[in-house]
Chain A
């Protein structure tokens, strides 16, 4: 039923959507929490609302290939808009809700957006502020009208009004929908995904229906779908990974998508939903681990003893699995006891006890962290990819695990290294190019090979290791090449360190800037009676500085002498996703940090000389 470029016998997203809506009818497609109650949406309703949204846009004048932008937190309306637009031949483009008005302006103009969907009042204000400079803009549609009572504007309408418009259009043109669903061809542009662009303005990556369908063919690699599977949606839908996972993946599997109320409630929502498949970025996996580690430190002596014993058993299981050994019956029995007595409870407390498939990607992760989850019995698999290849390029195979690598090339695609060690990809997952930017496209796709900008290695079995972004490689004043992310990943494994940036390009030695984990460090300070008031004073406390230095020294021991960190500074501001220092996935942007904290960085090198 699923061919190389087809899913359930369908070759484009619209026809696939039509097909599964007809098949699944009253099965639950998604749930959203409204005033404390999870409200369900069936596939039939999903199909109906997407149809009205799409036809509403047509009634407003949408033509095939017109771009529709969505800036909203994850919610059902996002999906109605997305699939409605695609089904009438339009192109959707998700914008990060954390983007500032001038970034929104850039993306709207670069993509020639004609229809703009804003999640709420806050997002609406962004487009209203810049719309005078957005000539292509026809209409703004708003999902949540709270706080907009009495607001009237020619160019703005509510989502409800759009649906009504669509229903009327549907009644007047009964066969329009069926005709439009067939408009899109597999090679056509389906979605635009703007890459966050740590250097220069963001670029719109063009992904085709075929890119998406091809990747869906592999979507079940983490776990075979079962009826009733749940998943939780909380990462930004403007990111290709979450977009694939929340919007496209269920078209293939039929899993129910549950929308988290907000990023802050993810731990609670996770316990309520208990998903079967779970995708998260390393930062989330790190946070869960830190929280568990912290709880164990506060546990009774018996509790922490039991935890250490059970984890030890789990680790032996995990190590055996990694080495490809079958566990002895004795160990298996021991693990059953450990799981029953300790590990299962731990998983329940995180809401991960029903997870059959778990994946991490979009940023590097420490191998020890994966091992910790494996010890708990959660099969956390690392994937690697980027927007330009529709999300997934390599994945860890279930039966041959090599930690520290990102696994093997996705079947039916090729990976190879350029002479400079750059990772190159070829296959049906490679994108169409950058929107209206032939020059950058030509630099990125050469002879069919996608140049990822990542450097790495490949072993004899084809396992790929990513060492760093090509432009991030540090060449010290002594001429030594250093890949900072290897060191940074080790640092981030510390529960006290949230993120780190290693510095040393053209410098005599390595240093780093560290963002501490507020919760764990505050608790550490509190336990040791270290007085502090706000975040900056916490960072400045002698004991905290010593604590972080201790963590750095632990990491230093794992690296050669030239690769050790000699000095560090803490970032004394508590950063949020709105800050330019962070990507929407909460990674520190190296180039930006290097620029913004130039004085702090220089101070580390001044003292030394």
Chain B
């Protein structure tokens, strides 16, 4: 797949005695959007947390931009240019929007650059400019998601980890946000690793996809090809062949091919 910005190899992560990630390997090429699909509890969030240093793996390596970062503290990982937009946004509700964005640029010393990036962020999400003085906790869910992405962008990352940006948002807003994510990827050359339950959206937006099931990758391919697979259609896109009765409740066995 060419030049990999992020390479994850044989990752194993535990919650106490429970093995959440059972040997996962994948890579994200520079400048691309890669998605990891999976059901609840498949281990998607754990993968992101392990990559960004929030959790430490028991085993395996994470190589980012040529450096091994597994087990590194999250702030150091962030300094290397890897920003994590966590599930559920996790903005600072009592700070204003502008202050939240300032937190994103906390590690940066170039005031000029920060000011330019603030303009860039407001350019992508004009609504944040108009709400700049409001407390972030007063924003709508969609605005909070925009803020969380913007805050991550303020660190000028090489790569963003997005954990379910569509969670709890209206479909119209979801489309809007995803379009902007694609634009950010193209215009700012930020590599994106996206975890999503909205498979349809993710498979149309990303270049390459992995399917994670109970802590293991069972399938990988370009998104165009993944969209054509029977298992993906039935289990992730909700498309079923109709039976002779017109309805069908039973599920085929997953074969992952």
A529 and B253 contact, Cβ closer than 8 Å, known pairs A128-B244, A129-B243: no
Is there an interface contact between A122 and B250, defined as CB atoms closer than 8 Å?
A: yes
A574: CB under 8 A from chain B? yes
Is there an interface contact between B60 and A534, defined as CB atoms closer than 8 Å?
A: no
A residues 503-535 in Cβ contact with B at 8 Å = 522, 525-526, 529-535
A146: CB under 8 A from chain B? yes
Is there an interface contact between A526 and B23, defined as CB atoms closer than 8 Å?
A: yes
Is there an interface contact between B245 and A573, defined as CB atoms closer than 8 Å?
A: no
Is there an interface contact between A525 and B250, defined as CB atoms closer than 8 Å?
A: no
Is there an interface contact between A534 and B218, defined as CB atoms closer than 8 Å?
A: yes
Is there an interface contact between B23 and A522, defined as CB atoms closer than 8 Å?
A: yes
B124: CB under 8 A from chain A? no
Q: Which of B25, B220, B244 contacts A129 (CB 8 A)?
A: B244
Is there an interface contact between A574 and B250, defined as CB atoms closer than 8 Å?
A: no
Report the minimal beta-carbon distance from A554 to chain B, rounded to whole angstroms.
26
A529 and B9 contact, Cβ closer than 8 Å, known pairs A125-B244, A128-B244, A534-B256: yes
Is there an interface contact between A534 and B217, defined as CB atoms closer than 8 Å?
A: yes
Cβ–Cβ < 8 Å partners of A128 in chain B: 243-245
Q: Chain A: which residue is nearest B254 at the CB level? A: A576
Report the minimal beta-carbon distance from B35 to chain A, rounded to whole angstroms.
14
Is there an interface contact between B256 and A125, defined as CB atoms closer than 8 Å?
A: no
Q: Chain B: which residue is nearest A146 at the CB level? A: B249
Complex interface bits, B7-24 against A, C-beta within 8 A gives 1, otherwise 0: 001101000000000110
B120: CB under 8 A from chain A? no
Q: Which of A125, A129, A147, A576 contacts B255 (CB 8 A)?
A: A576
Cβ–Cβ < 8 Å partners of A129 in chain B: 243-244
Is there an interface contact between A533 and B26, defined as CB atoms closer than 8 Å?
A: yes
Report the minimal beta-carbon distance from B41 to chain A, rounded to whole angstroms.
18
Cβ–Cβ < 8 Å partners of B60 in chain A: 529
Report the minimal beta-carbon distance from A213 to chain B, rounded to whole angstroms.
38
Q: Chain A: which residue is nearest B250 at the CB level? A: A122
- Interface size, chain B (Cβ < 8 Å): 26
B219: CB under 8 A from chain A? yes
A268: CB under 8 A from chain B? no
Report the minimal beta-carbon distance from B236 to chain A, rounded to whole angstroms.
15
Cβ–Cβ < 8 Å partners of B220 in chain A: 533-534, 537
Expressed in whole angstroms, the Cα–Cα distance for A564 and B248 within the complex equals: 50
B257: CB under 8 A from chain A? yes
Is there an interface contact between A534 and B22, defined as CB atoms closer than 8 Å?
A: no
The B contact surface, by secondary structure, is: strand
Cβ–Cβ < 8 Å partners of A525 in chain B: 10, 23
Cβ–Cβ < 8 Å partners of B9 in chain A: 529, 531
Size category of the binding interface on chain A: 20 to 34
A147 and B217 contact, Cβ closer than 8 Å, known pairs A526-B23, A576-B255: no
Cβ–Cβ < 8 Å partners of A537 in chain B: 220
Q: Which of B216, B218, B219, B243 contacts A125 (CB 8 A)?
A: B243
Expressed in whole angstroms, the Cα–Cα distance for A578 and B250 within the complex equals: 15
Q: Chain A: which residue is nearest B212 at the CB level? A: A533
Q: Chain B: which residue is nearest A101 at the CB level? A: B244
B210: CB under 8 A from chain A? yes
Expressed in whole angstroms, the Cα–Cα distance for A530 and B60 within the complex equals: 10
Complex interface bits, A110-150 against B, C-beta within 8 A gives 1, otherwise 0: 00000000001110010011000000000000000011000
Cβ–Cβ < 8 Å partners of A573 in chain B: 255, 257
Expressed in whole angstroms, the Cα–Cα distance for A146 and B248 within the complex equals: 11
A residues 81-133 in Cβ contact with B at 8 Å = 120-122, 125, 128-129
Report the minimal beta-carbon distance from A142 to chain B, rounded to whole angstroms.
12
Is there an interface contact between B253 and A576, defined as CB atoms closer than 8 Å?
A: yes
Expressed in whole angstroms, the Cα–Cα distance for A350 and B151 within the complex equals: 54
A125 and B10 contact, Cβ closer than 8 Å, known pairs A525-B23, A532-B25, A533-B217: no
A531 and B253 contact, Cβ closer than 8 Å, known pairs A125-B245, A128-B245, A526-B22: no
Q: Chain A: which residue is nearest B243 at the CB level? A: A125
Is there an interface contact between A531 and B243, defined as CB atoms closer than 8 Å?
A: no
Cβ–Cβ < 8 Å partners of A522 in chain B: 23, 216
A526 and B249 contact, Cβ closer than 8 Å, known pairs A129-B244, A532-B25, A574-B256: no
What are 21 pairs between A and B in contact, CB < 8 Å?
Answer: A122-B250, A125-B243, A125-B244, A125-B248, A128-B244, A129-B243, A146-B249, A147-B250, A522-B23, A529-B10, A529-B60, A530-B10, A532-B25, A533-B25, A533-B210, A534-B220, A535-B218, A537-B220, A573-B257, A578-B253, A578-B255
Residues of B within 8 A of A (CB): 9-10, 12, 22-23, 25-26, 59-60, 210, 216-220, 243-245, 247-250, 253, 255-257
Closest 10 CB pairs of A and B: A147-B249, A531-B25, A122-B250, A526-B23, A533-B217, A531-B9, A125-B243, A128-B244, A533-B220, A129-B244
Residues of A within 8 A of B (CB): 120-122, 125, 128-129, 146-147, 151, 522, 525-526, 529-535, 537, 573-574, 576, 578-579
